[in-house]
Amino acid sequence: MNVLKVNLQQSIQVLHARGWSRRRIARELGIHRQTVAGYLDEAKPGISTAGPAEVEAAKVAISTTGSETAAEAKAAIATAGSPVGRVSLCREFLPTITTAVTAGLSATRIHQDLVAEHRFIGSYESVKRCVRSLAQQLALPYRRLECAPGEEMQVVFGQGAWIAADGKRRRPHLFRAVLSHSRKGYSEVVWRQDTETFIRCCENAFRHFGGVTRTTVVDNLKAAVLEPDWFDPTLNPKMADFARHYGTVVLPTQPARPEHKGKIEAGVKYAQNNALKGRTFPSLAEHNVFLGEWERRVADTRIHGTVRQQVSGLFAAERPALSALPDSLFPSFTEARRKVHRDGHVEFAKAYYSVPPEYLGREVWVRGESRVIRILNHRQEVVAAHARVEPGRFATTDAHIHAHKKSGIERGAAYWLDRCRLIGPNTAAWAEGFFAQRGVYGLRALQGLVGLTKTHPAAALEQATATAKHRGVWRLRDVRRLLTDGDTVVQIDFLETHPLIRPLAAYSLDALSHP
């Protein structure tokens, strides 16, 4: 045993008499714990009691260690009534500081309030030390939440093992799902973290468990959550449809709070450390085969450190509590956000599909299935559906073309005849007679007839069409001339009787033969 100086020997005896453990004494004095034990076991006479000189020697020895708890040691060996050191100026305002720390105020704000309201003369550093100490004392422990059988599944992406192929090494993403009650897990490695891949991984997990949990806790990855928000998150529309299809509720965690999904955070670390660490696989398929076998042989048969039961046995009790799987898989489709072009179409997979005119310039969701393209608004309501067309082609629905943008031919004869009937009966009669003679080749003339109402009163048009019909004129240019020049033809009414007019009998053969 090393021979210590007398002041250190005295310090060991005094601190031990004050209730300090051997480990603490060794740490504070900077000596080995066995050395402390040796001096305490010997307990030499004259050193075990602490007189004034011994106390002062112990104080000097402790002060030379430079540790942060030297003040505690000095307080422990100090006699009653002796000065222990400088008293903090915050001691007088400790209740006020405690209330402020509980309210969540910062040390800067607390120092400002003390100076302004209580004429505090201490420094900011003293307040900061006091606040740090109080925060450690007032910190609340985390609340552990256990879930009922079939209540919750937690999912997250981690990092898989190396895959070496063709002289290159890549690391895939490790998807892992864990049932919160039984800790039954499912693992799968994939190359991407897009929405379609994430949904298929969740679907494979449900199929592996043989049922669906009532809630699914996910991280705030873009594949599932578009806008993270603890109170009102915006889910990816495709993820929302998947949740409705399987009858589960997707609950994103609060950003930067891994403790909200502690079971899966521990579960993915367990898979990485126990199954994948130090391993390399030749392909993604062999990697997944290994994970499936590891789940069955190792993860399911272990005694879980928290629940203290075998995972497979606990899952057997949870399995009946899972909701039934739907009859079909979730439909496979691709989805993307698109902005409606000025021509009223959206582009998807290099083809173009029409949208109702009220969505011009707005963003919509385009969902591409194998044969159908569906267009949805921000409320996930289908506003248009088209059969899928080849790249470069346009799929246009007649109802999506605004009435002001339709040509005369597109509107049809019935539309223009109805417009003529609104002008008046004479115009309607002339238009119907005109169409009977000209057929579909006269649609533009009917459009021009309606257009005359922009420059001529309806009464003038009625008079012109009446005259044209009376004369049997069936050209639009004649109607225009009648509107411009007026009716210049003088109508002569012939008389049937007059003194100068001989009766028709005078022209008979008998009358001519007998003058």
Assigned CATH class of 334-404? mainly beta
Which pLDDT score, from 0 to 100, does residue 78 have? 38
Here the tokens at position 186 are 């499912």
Return phi, psi of residue 175, to 5°: -90, 130
Helices of type H across 319-423: 408-411, 413-423
d(CA 197, CA 178): 18
pLDDT at 60: 46
pLDDT at 67: 42
In whole angstroms, give the CA distance from residue 75 to residue 79.
8
Q: Would you say 149 and 181 are in contact if contact means Cβ atoms under 8 Å apart? A: yes
pLDDT at residue number 250: 93
Q: Does domain 152-321 have CATH number 3.30.420.10?
A: yes
The pLDDT value recorded for residue 405 is 53
> CA-CA distance, 357 to 96, in Å (whole number)?
63
Phi, psi for 318 (deg, rounded to 5) = -85, -30
pLDDT of residue 347: 94
Q: Which two tokens stand for residue 88?
A: 């903090």
Give the angle subtended at the CA of 46 by the CAs of 45 and 51, to the nearest 5°. 150
For residue 154, list its beta bridge partners: 178, 217
- Return the number of other C-beta atoms located less than 10 Å from residue 247's C-beta: 13
Cα dihedral sign for 396, 397, 402, 405? positive
At 476, list the tokens: 């639009």
Rg (CA), the chain: 47
pLDDT in tens, the chain (515 residues): 457 777 778 788 888 888 888 888 888 888 888 888 888 887 544 444 444 444 454 444 444 444 443 444 343 333 333 344 467 889 889 989 998 988 889 999 999 999 999 888 888 999 999 998 888 777 666 666 778 999 999 999 999 999 998 888 999 999 999 999 999 999 999 999 999 999 999 999 999 999 999 999 998 899 899 888 888 888 888 899 899 999 999 999 988 777 778 889 999 999 999 999 999 999 999 999 999 999 999 999 999 888 889 999 999 999 999 999 999 999 888 888 899 998 889 999 899 999 998 898 899 999 988 789 999 998 888 999 999 999 999 998 877 766 555 544 556 678 778 888 888 898 888 888 888 887 766 777 887 888 888 888 888 888 888 888 888 888 888 888 888 876 555 455 556 666 777 777 776 666 556 55
Return the pLDDT at 208.
Answer: 96
Angstrom distance (rounded) from CA 298 to CA 294? 5
What is the reported pLDDT for 487? 57
Q: How much is the pTM?
A: 0.51
Half-sphere exposure of 508 (CA within 13 A, CB side): 7
Residues sharing a CB contact under 8 Å with residue 227, sequence separation 6 or more, in sequence order? 233, 234
